[in-house]
Structure formats: C-alpha cells, structure tokens
Structure 1
Amino acid sequence: MIERPKARNVTGMIRGVLLDLAGVVYEGDHVLPGAIDAIARLHEAGLPLRFVTNTTTKTKAALLARLKKLGLEITGDELFTPGQAARAWLTAHDASPVLLVHPNLEGEFADLPHGATRAVVIGDAGEAFTYANLNHAFRALVDGATLLALAKNRTFKGDDGLLTLDAGAFVAALEYSSGLEAIVLGKPSPDFYAGALASMDCSPQDAVMVGDDAEADVAGALRARLAKALLVRTGKYRDGDESRFEPRPTATIADLTAAAAWILEHR
C-alpha cells in the first residue's frame, strides 16, 4: 500500500535526486537488480544526482573505489558522506578529533591540523566499540569536547543479510552519560541534505530523496523540507516501516527501478 504524508504539497517540479546507497543501490558486495539501469535512466533524463550515505566504515576515497568495482561510476562531487561533513566541521571550528570510528575510517582525519579545541567523532566503530574506547570518549566529553555523531541510525543490514546494531545506541549512551546532545552530521541532519542540494543548485522544494530507511532517509528528508521522499522495499525495509515514522513517505515502492519510473512520471 502506498502511504502519503498528510497535508503536504507534492506538486512541485523534480529538478534533483538524492539517492541512498546501501540497501538502495547495492547490498554487501553486489549491486541490486536494475539499479545501474535506473541510475542511467535518471542521468539520461538530465536529472542531477547526489548519493547521500551514512556509511561510516570507509573513507570517501575507499567508498568511491568500491563503487567503481561494482560498476558504479560516481564522481567525488556526486558522493556525500558523514566523514567529509565531519572534516568540514572540524576545520570550521578549529577542533581536533577524538576518534571513536571504524579503523578503516581513521584515514579520513589523518591530515587535519591540530585544533584549539577537541571533538569526539563517533561512527560505526564495529568491534572498536569496547568499554575502554567508549570510556575514553566519555572522559574527553566531560573534559569539554563536543560530541559529533557521523550518524545516529538504529540499525543497518549486515553482509549476512540480517539487521545489525548501528551506532545510534552508542551515541545515545554517550549522550546519556555526558549529559550532552550530539551534533548529527549525516542523515537526517538538515545541513547534510542542504549541502548535497546546494552542490547541484537545487532547492528542497524541487528535490526527491530515495531511501530504504523510513526514519533517517525518508522522514529526515521531509523534515529537511524536501518536497518528496520515496521509501523502497529493499535493504533494511521491514513491513510496516512506512507507517512507523512521521512524516510518512510520499510513496512506498518496490525498488530503485520503480523509484526511477515514479520520478520520471512525476517530474
């Protein structure tokens, strides 16, 4: 069943498309059926695309290389990651990172200059989420560091095909223990969406988001004032997700192929 947000104007033009990656374009080590053709159709229609991901286990360069191996030719300008948002925040605020991230992501911050202040940067650290590492981050926070969350997702779909605990629970633990509220840099941060849209000179009223996460991708995009947000039944989607969060999706559809068709029909 297709769910639409109540009392929401969805009649604007579509001049830009934001696409989630994991669960929408690919899963694990394979591209989802029809995804490459769907992306090609959107490009051929002259619609600018930006790929907005909350993946925080790889640097942007490593993620681009992985996508290329999967057959996805995405430029650096088309890809927006929480890691690059964190780099920009740290530079703008003259802050040094205290990292609680996956070891594969640490290189994203290797060349930053020493800052006058500190900020704890927390992402999907995986096995690095030990008590000792969490306590190290906590002590930095009570000593005055800012708390930066690359994302605050509840779950993601693991390579084994099962829902897996994401970083959100650990962000919540540090918030509770320190009494601080995290600055979220990835989805559903309105600033994250705004940066992606600004890069293609597209207003939120002319944009559509496609994602498999009803909370961060879809409700987050609509709260960021995007005109439309489509929920696909791939990736982490589970029955009933379309009615669990507000605002509800503009439409709930099968996959990226169906999303591309919907976008072209409604543009």
Structure 2
Amino acid sequence: MEQVRALLLDLSGVLYVGGEALPGAIEAVQRAQAAGLPIRLITNTTREPRAAIIDKLAGLGFGFESAQLTTAPSAIRERLESESRSPLLLVHPALEPEFEGVPTGDPDVVVLGDMGAAFDYAVLNRAFRVLMEGAPLWVMGTNRYFREADGLSLDIGPFVRALEYAADLKAENFGKPDARLFHAAIADLDLPPEQVLMVGDDVSGDVDGARAAGLTACLVRTGKYQDGDEQRAQHRGAGLADRLADIVDALLS
C-alpha cells in the first residue's frame, strides 16, 4: 500500500456498528489524522441527514467535519435542483430535512431511500403508479442488507429491485457502487484515484464500486462481512484486513 496517500472510509461496519464504535477505530482515525493522512467519508446511509451523521460520529468519539462526508442524498438533491424536478420523496422521516424547500407537488421522478419500518405495500404501490406514468426512479443505493446492533437487516436494494421489476425499468443509482459518488467524495483531494484507499465491509458496494472507479480497495472483516467475502474481494484485486486499525498501522509503519 505504498502508493496510498489518502483514505476513503465507509461508516457503518468500518467505524461503528449500531451505536458503538468498533474496537480500535477511534484510535486508528486519530493516528491517521495526526500523521496528516487525509480522510474522506462515504456512505449509503439514508436514515440521517449529513449534519446528524457528523454529530453521531462526534458522539462516538470521532472528529470529522461535514465537508469530509459525501452521501447519496446530497447528490440527489443537487440533481433535483439542477433539473428543477418535483420528486415523490420516499425517504426515512429523519432524512426529510435534507430535502427542505424542494417542491414535491405533481411528481415527475421517484426518489427512493431507506424508509425503514415505513416501507409497506401502499408506499411501494404509490411509487409504482408514478413510475408507470413515465417518471424515472432515482435511488440512494442498491445494497442488499446491512448490520445493526441486533443483527443483519434488509437495506434498500430489495425494494429497488421490486420496483424495477414491476415497472420494467432500470433505476439510476446515486449511491455506492456508482463511480460518480466515489469520484465526488475524493474530488477535493487532487489525487489520482489509485492513490486513495477505499475501506469498506461490503464487497459489492465498497470493493466493486471503488475498483470500478479506479480506487485501491480493502475489505475489513467487520460489520456485514461474511465468510467467503474475501475470495470475491481478492478476485477484484482488493486487500483484506481484520479491522481499520490494522490498515492504518500498515500505512503508517
């Protein structure tokens, strides 16, 4: 990893799980920061606005600024405004402030985030009807599942696939593994992508996405990692580590 000059970190499963920081993660971040190693953050988390995520990280003991974090909701809001779109917003209630001021009457696009317990037949059927009228489907990720404090939980991907199948269309993904989100996250670093190491716990979203975007990648055996994931990651040319602290130790040694 001698060519690595910056880190791009996933959040859940790399820095924390549920409401607790992962062992060694806080200290690893502090060591990297003290050494002057730039860190950027990227996430498909769509249950919290960016400010709340930064506050949550601070509460866990991490010191990051909002400018270091790139999210799918922020990318979608920029696109909505640039195209003067009126969305059917299907997002978690906690995320609604992220879209404050965006007009939502007579929707011409369906925006789908992780609604958690608010996902039900009526919600999906309303989205289906708008899609059948010709609206595109913009989504904040296609992950299959993630890890919460009490175990694995369904993520947004299964609901995206249901709507794609029903309306016979292809969603436009604004989250990982889309290369645009990775490039947006590291744009201010002024480094070639291969000199940025993406660290994640998800082979499809983190490793595959980063490699397709030209970044170096490493899978950690924390978070949603499952036995056998290492074969898929290494097939993509990615590294493997037990936890973030081991990666930082290797980079700074």
Q: Do Structure 1 and Structure 2 share a fold, with TM-score over 0.5?
A: yes
From 30, 45, 48, the equivalent of 2:35 is 45
Provide the residue aligned with 1:201 in structure 2.
190
Task: Judge conservation of contact 1:94–1:115 (CA < 8 Å) in 2.
Answer: no
Moved more, 18-27 or 246-255: 246-255
Distance 1:238 1:155 in 2: 12
From 60, 65, 71, the equivalent of 1:81 is 71
Provide the residue aligned with 1:14 in structure 2.
4
Provide the residue aligned with 2:210 in structure 1.
221
Distance 2:233 2:195 in 1: 23
TM-score under structure 1 normalisation? 0.89
Moved more, 60-69 or 75-84: 60-69
Task: Give 1:171 deviation, angstroms.
Answer: 0.2
Q: Which amino acid aligns with 2:73?
A: G
Q: How many percent identity over aligned positions?
A: 46
1:126-149 Cα shifts (integer Å, max 9, x gaps): 111111100111111111222111
Q: Which amino acid aligns with 2:117?
A: E
Structure 1: gaps spanning 5 or more residues:
1-9
From 180, 185, 205, the equivalent of 1:191 is 180
Task: Give 1:116 deviation, angstroms.
Answer: 9.2
Task: Give 1:186 deviation, angstroms.
Answer: 1.0
Distance 1:104 1:111 in 2: 15
Task: Judge conservation of contact 1:223–1:247 (CA < 8 Å) in 2.
Answer: no
Task: Judge conservation of contact 1:94–1:116 (CA < 8 Å) in 2.
Answer: no
Task: Judge conservation of contact 2:89–2:104 (CA < 8 Å) in 1.
Answer: no
1:219-243 Cα shifts (integer Å, max 9, x gaps): 11001111x1010000000111122
C-alpha RMSD over aligned residues = 1.8
Q: Which amino acid aligns with 2:126?
A: H
Q: Which amino acid aligns with 1:236?
A: K
Task: Judge conservation of contact 1:54–1:81 (CA < 8 Å) in 2.
Answer: yes
Task: Give 1:93 deviation, angstroms.
Answer: 1.8
Task: Give 1:190 deviation, angstroms.
Answer: 0.3
Distance 1:125 1:114, change over 3 A: closer
Provide the residue aligned with 1:143 in structure 2.
133
Distance 1:159 1:110, change over 3 A: same
Task: Judge conservation of contact 2:201–2:224 (CA < 8 Å) in 1.
Answer: yes
Task: Judge conservation of contact 1:59–1:107 (CA < 8 Å) in 2.
Answer: yes
Task: Judge conservation of contact 2:46–2:92 (CA < 8 Å) in 1.
Answer: yes
TM-score under structure 2 normalisation? 0.94
Instruction: State whether structure 2 residue 93 is matched by structure 1 residue 95.
Output: no
Task: Judge conservation of contact 1:15–1:48 (CA < 8 Å) in 2.
Answer: yes
Distance 1:246 1:129, change over 3 A: farther
1:56-87 Cα shifts (integer Å, max 9, x gaps): 11111111111111111211100111111111
Task: Give 1:118 deviation, angstroms.
Answer: 2.2
Superposed counterparts of 1:209-248, under 5 Å? 209-226=198-215, 228-244=216-232, 247-248=235-236
Task: Give 1:35 deviation, angstroms.
Answer: 0.7
1:87 is paired with a residue whose SS is helix
Distance 1:117 1:169 in 2: 23
Shift >3 Å, 4+ stretches: 113-117, 244-247
More helix by share: 2
Distance 1:115 1:177 in 2: 24
Task: Give 1:115 deviation, angstroms.
Answer: 8.7
Q: How many residues align?
A: 253
